[in-house]
Protein backbone atom coordinates (compact mmCIF):
# COMPACT_ATOMS: atom_id res chain seq x y z
CA UNK A 1 0.00 0.00 0.00
CA UNK A 2 2.82 2.41 0.78
CA UNK A 3 5.42 1.29 -1.75
CA UNK A 4 6.08 2.82 -4.28
CA UNK A 5 3.27 5.40 -4.27
CA UNK A 6 4.14 7.01 -0.93
CA UNK A 7 7.66 5.79 -0.21
CA UNK A 8 10.33 3.86 -2.06
CA UNK A 9 11.14 1.56 0.86
CA UNK A 10 9.20 0.53 3.96
CA UNK A 11 10.29 -1.48 7.00
CA UNK A 12 7.72 -1.93 9.72
CA UNK A 13 10.15 -1.42 12.61
CA UNK A 14 12.24 1.44 11.26
CA UNK A 15 10.29 3.51 8.73
CA UNK A 16 8.66 6.55 10.33
CA UNK A 17 5.06 6.98 9.23
CA UNK A 18 4.64 10.57 10.42
CA UNK A 19 6.40 12.19 7.44
CA UNK A 20 4.52 9.94 5.01
CA UNK A 21 1.17 10.77 6.62
CA UNK A 22 2.00 14.47 6.72
CA UNK A 23 2.65 14.41 2.97
CA UNK A 24 -0.50 12.37 2.23
CA UNK A 25 -3.21 13.00 4.90
CA UNK A 26 -5.77 10.83 3.07
CA UNK A 27 -3.52 7.86 3.73
CA UNK A 28 -4.28 8.01 7.47
CA UNK A 29 -7.95 7.24 6.81
CA UNK A 30 -7.05 4.30 4.57
CA UNK A 31 -4.72 2.86 7.19
CA UNK A 32 -7.30 3.31 9.96
CA UNK A 33 -9.93 1.52 7.87
CA UNK A 34 -7.58 -1.41 7.24
CA UNK A 35 -6.76 -1.64 10.97
CA UNK A 36 -10.45 -1.61 11.90
CA UNK A 37 -11.17 -4.37 9.39
CA UNK A 38 -8.33 -6.67 10.39
CA UNK A 39 -7.87 -6.08 14.11
CA UNK A 40 -10.29 -6.42 17.00
CA UNK A 41 -10.52 -2.88 18.34
CA UNK A 42 -12.88 -1.43 20.89
CA UNK A 43 -14.50 2.00 20.55
CA UNK A 44 -11.41 3.65 22.08
CA UNK A 45 -9.20 2.02 19.46
CA UNK A 46 -7.60 -0.44 21.87
CA UNK A 47 -6.88 -3.93 20.64
CA UNK A 48 -8.13 -6.81 22.79
CA UNK A 49 -6.56 -9.82 21.13
CA UNK A 50 -7.08 -12.13 24.08
CA UNK A 51 -10.82 -11.46 24.56
CA UNK A 52 -12.06 -13.94 21.91
CA UNK A 53 -9.59 -16.58 23.09
CA UNK A 54 -10.65 -16.22 26.71
CA UNK A 55 -14.32 -16.28 25.74
CA UNK A 56 -13.75 -19.48 23.78
CA UNK A 57 -12.03 -21.11 26.76
CA UNK A 58 -14.91 -20.08 29.06
CA UNK A 59 -17.44 -21.56 26.64
CA UNK A 60 -15.54 -24.85 26.49
CA UNK A 61 -15.29 -25.10 30.27
CA UNK A 62 -19.00 -24.33 30.63
CA UNK A 63 -19.78 -27.04 28.07
CA UNK A 64 -17.63 -29.57 29.94
CA UNK A 65 -19.19 -28.64 33.30
CA UNK A 66 -22.70 -28.92 31.89
CA UNK A 67 -22.18 -32.18 30.04
CA UNK A 68 -19.50 -34.11 31.93
CA UNK A 69 -19.63 -33.12 35.59
Whether residues 47 and 19 fall in one domain: no
Instruction: Please name the residues in contact with 28: beta carbons below 8 A apart, sequence gap of 6 or more.
Output: 21
The pLDDT tens digits of the residues spanning 24-33 come to 999 999 998 8
Whether residue 67 has pLDDT greater than 80: yes
Q: How many domains, in total, are found in the chain? A: 2
The partner residues of 47 in beta bridges, in order of sequence, read: 41
Containing structural domain, residue 22? 1-38
Whether residue 12 has pLDDT greater than 90: no
Whether residues 25 and 48 fall in one domain: no
Whether residues 33 and 51 fall in one domain: no
Whether residue 36 has pLDDT greater than 80: no
Whether residue 58 has pLDDT greater than 80: yes
Whether residues 27 and 50 fall in one domain: no
How high does pLDDT run on average in the chain?
87
Measured in Å, how far apart are the chain's first and last C-alpha atoms?
A: 52
Amino acid sequence: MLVPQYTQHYEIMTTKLQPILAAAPQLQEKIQLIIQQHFQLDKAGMEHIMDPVLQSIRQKYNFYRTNFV
